[in-house]
């Protein structure tokens, strides 16, 4: 049986029915982290159901319509990637992923997905790889961006989950676009110097880090300290939602949001960019973006959207945000 190295003592291997016990133990660890986004994790609740999940994928692989692979880190199954659809007649396939908390932050999913996309395009001659994701699943959306995918559109209220209808985003990459010219920055290797494309990538990273700081989906904890990291100390954040603008310094902005995101008031919350336009002028830059958000506020599901305008400056430590203003629709 093959094992493809992913770095960091990680391996990508086929995930087969005989590994159902190991798979179930992993899903039990991962369930709080992935259950909102991976429906079949809900169905793997005992050895019989876990075996059935893997057997279905084995049957689909025999028919050349789906495949599933596990990611092992230091010998422990921590996640995986799969072809949830593989249609050789149309040349279109869909990939997905999942990961337990102990495997996060290492780039394992990105590397594993690249291996699958390489194989789909290079060995099987596929034309299009799709990525279908719940609109609130910010981690998965960021993975699609890192893979160089394009957001094709949104299927509004497409999926029913626990009594609530959710938007579904469709991302894709074409064989003519692979491999991407630039996989973009990561949290461990931000780019702060270089040509305009590198500057844009760094501004993308800052914008993504800011929005991601508030995410508390799937049992994850928000990290609002990131706001101080991406802003200059004198940064200003302005809410222009009501009749008059409310102007915050960083501490005044962070404190109430930290409380709401950790005391149960605001749960399963995330917000993400839908469109953006960024202009760079030497050592200053401006970004205008549309964003969406969703979560439970005092136990009631809500979805919203709005616009942000963000200013950036280049400092001796690299690019930082200097001010931001937003208005909800």
| pLDDT tens-digit map of 235-286 | 999 999 988 999 999 999 999 999 999 999 999 898 888 888 999 998 999 9
Q: Are 3 and 12 in contact (CB under 8 A)?
A: yes
Dihedral-angle region of residue 229 (phi above 0 means left; psi in -120 to 50 means alpha; beta otherwise): alpha
**pLDDT at residue 187, as a whole number:** 33
Q: Where are the domains of the chain?
A: 4-177, 196-328
Q: Are 15 and 80 in contact (CB under 8 A)?
A: yes
Q: Are 47 and 55 in contact (CB under 8 A)?
A: no
CATH class of this structure's domain 4-177? alpha beta
User: Phi/psi at 328 (nearest 5 deg)?
Assistant: -80, 145
Q: Are 176 and 285 in contact (CB under 8 A)?
A: no
Q: Are 42 and 27 in contact (CB under 8 A)?
A: no
Beta bridge partners of 65: none
The count of residues in the chain is 329
Q: How wide is the angle at C-alpha 260 spanned by C-alphas 259 and 264, nearest 5°?
A: 110
Indicate the pTM of the whole model: 0.58
Beta bridge partners of 134: 168
Instruction: Please tell me if the domain spanning 4-177 has the same topology as the one spanning 196-328.
Output: no
Give CATH for domain 196-328.
3.10.450.50
d(CA 35, CA 27): 9
Which helix (H) or strand (E) element contains residue 26?
A: helix 20-34
| pLDDT tens-digit map of 36-66 | 667 667 778 899 999 999 999 999 999 999 9
Q: What is the DSSP letter of 189?
A: B
pLDDT by position in tens, the chain (length 329) = 578 888 768 899 999 999 999 999 999 998 877 766 676 677 788 999 999 999 999 999 999 999 999 999 999 999 999 999 999 999 999 999 998 888 877 788 888 999 999 999 999 999 999 999 888 777 788 888 888 888 898 888 887 766 778 788 999 999 998 876 444 333 333 333 344 667 888 898 899 889 989 998 877 789 999 999 999 999 999 999 988 999 999 999 999 999 999 999 999 898 888 888 999 998 999 999 999 889 999 999 899 999 999 999 999 888 999 999 999 98
d(CA 106, CA 103): 7
């Amino acid at each position: 049986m093959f094992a493809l190295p992913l770095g960091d003592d990680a391996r990508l291997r086929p995930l087969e029915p005989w590994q159902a016990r190991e798979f179930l133990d992993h899903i039990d660890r991962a369930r709080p982290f992935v259950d909102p986004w991976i429906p079949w994790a809900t169905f793997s609740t005992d050895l019989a159901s876990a075996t059935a999940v893997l057997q279905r994928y084995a049957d689909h692989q025999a028919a050349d319509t789906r495949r599933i692979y596990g990611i092992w880190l230091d010998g422990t199954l921590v996640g995986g990637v799969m072809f949830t659809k593989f249609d050789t007649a149309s040349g279109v396939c869909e990939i997905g992923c999942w990961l337990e908390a102990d495997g996060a932050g290492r780039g394992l999913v990105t590397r594993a997905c690249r291996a699958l996309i390489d194989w789909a395009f290079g060995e099987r001659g596929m034309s299009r790889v799709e990525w279908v994701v719940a609109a609130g699943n910010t981690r998965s959306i960021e993975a699609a961006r890192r893979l160089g995918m394009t957001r094709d559109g949104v299927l509004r209220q497409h999926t029913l989950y626990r009594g609530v209808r959710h938007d579904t985003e469709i991302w894709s990459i074409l064989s003519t676009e692979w491999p991407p010219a630039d996989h973009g920055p990561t949290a461990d290797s931000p780019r702060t110097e270089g040509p305009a494309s590198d500057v844009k990538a760094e501004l993308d990273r800052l914008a993504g880090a800011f929005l991601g700081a508030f995410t508390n989906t799937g049992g994850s904890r928000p990290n609002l300290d990131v706001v101080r990291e991406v802003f200059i100390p004198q940064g200003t954040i302005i809410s222009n939602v009501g009749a008059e603008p409310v102007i915050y310094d960083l501490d005044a902005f962070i404190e109430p949001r930290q409380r709401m995101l950790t005391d149960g008031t605001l749960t399963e919350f995330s917000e993400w960019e839908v469109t953006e336009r960024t202009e760079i002028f030497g050592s200053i830059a401006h970004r205008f973006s549309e964003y969406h958000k969703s979560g439970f506020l005092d136990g009631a599901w809500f979805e919203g959207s709005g616009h942000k305008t963000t200013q950036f400056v280049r400092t001796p430590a690299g690019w930082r945000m200097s001010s931001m203003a937003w208005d909800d629709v």
